[in-house]
A and B are shown apart, each in its own frame.
Chain A
Amino acid sequence: MKFALMINQGPYTHQASDTAYHFTCAVLKAGHEVFRIFFYHDGVNNATRMATPPQDDRHVIDRWSELASQHKLDLVVCVAAAQRRGILDEDEARRHGKDGDNLAPGFRISGLGQLIEAGIEADRFLVFGN
């Protein structure tokens, strides 16, 4: 089956990203496909390269980047939500005249159309949030 996920909460503050991560691992282990993972609302904060959580705890952001790399996952961050919250890739930073970018590896910034497409294409669509 094809799964798509939507993650609407940021890392650490809320368990949504953790639960979604463990769910994704289980889905992949069971041999299913993860079509896309779309980050919206504060979920875009899962995509900052700048996070430096304490070393004795899980690194929520890096864990996503690693999983994406291992399984060629499509991690998409909503451009509008990202702009609001200061998550930028190089293009966005340049376009808006910001002095830095912070998008973590494995993530890409795109539009809400990617979310709708995921809902259409996937057999199962899950929302992780509040």
Chain B
Amino acid sequence: MYVNRSAPHGTIYAHEGLEVVLVGAAFDQEVSMAFVGDGVFQLKQAQDTSGIGTKNFAGAYRALADYDVTRLYVETESLEERGLTVDDLMPLTYDDEGDDDQEKSLITLIDRASLGQLFEAQDVILNF
């Protein structure tokens, strides 16, 4: 599991963290991502970096489904604390082959306590 705690810009952790996920996806492991704290901003829609001259890598989150990364856990408390709702986030979806190609959301909302339990279930946790 990749835990993302950083906003998309201002530090490199979000960008380089995503690179690990995309490279790691080739290794046939069970991969999920958690977005907590300022990490929830990574999934915010309508990002535009033209004002700060940095690479806008928000589009890469749409590629995650192609790499079989379909579980993006977003912590509800982190959203609330930042005045965000799920409607502020990118509408990331994928077609679930295992379920009649139904269109599903990549994003799963999860509360803090449940996320803690989810961490316990992981074999490897990377922190960005």
Contacts and interface: CB of A to CB of B under 8 A. Distances in A.
A116 interface: yes
Interface in B1-37: 12-13, 16, 19-20, 23-24, 26-27, 29
A116 B16 contact: no
B19 A80 contact: yes
B23 A41 contact: no
B124 A120 contact: yes
Interface string A5-39: 01010000000000000000000000000000000
Contact of A40 (B16, B27, B123): B16
Contact of A119 (B19, B23, B124): B124
Contact of A81 (B16, B24, B126, B127): B16
A123 B27 CA distance: 18
A106 interface: no
Contacts of A117: 27
Nearest to A128: B127
B126 A119 contact: yes
Contacts of A111: 23
A120 B29 contact: yes
Interface in B81-107: none
Given A80-B19, A116-B24, A41 B126 contact: no
A40 B15 CA distance: 12
A127 interface: yes
Nearest to B27: A116
Interface in A65-85: 80-81
B27 A120 contact: yes
Given A113-B23, A116-B27, A120-B27, A41 B127 contact: no
Closest 6 CB pairs of A and B: A112-B23, A119-B124, A116-B24, A127-B127, A116-B27, A125-B124
20 contacts: A8-B13, A40-B16, A40-B20, A41-B12, A80-B16, A113-B24, A113-B26, A115-B24, A116-B20, A116-B29, A119-B124, A120-B27, A120-B124, A125-B124, A125-B125, A125-B126, A127-B127, A129-B127, A129-B128, A130-B13
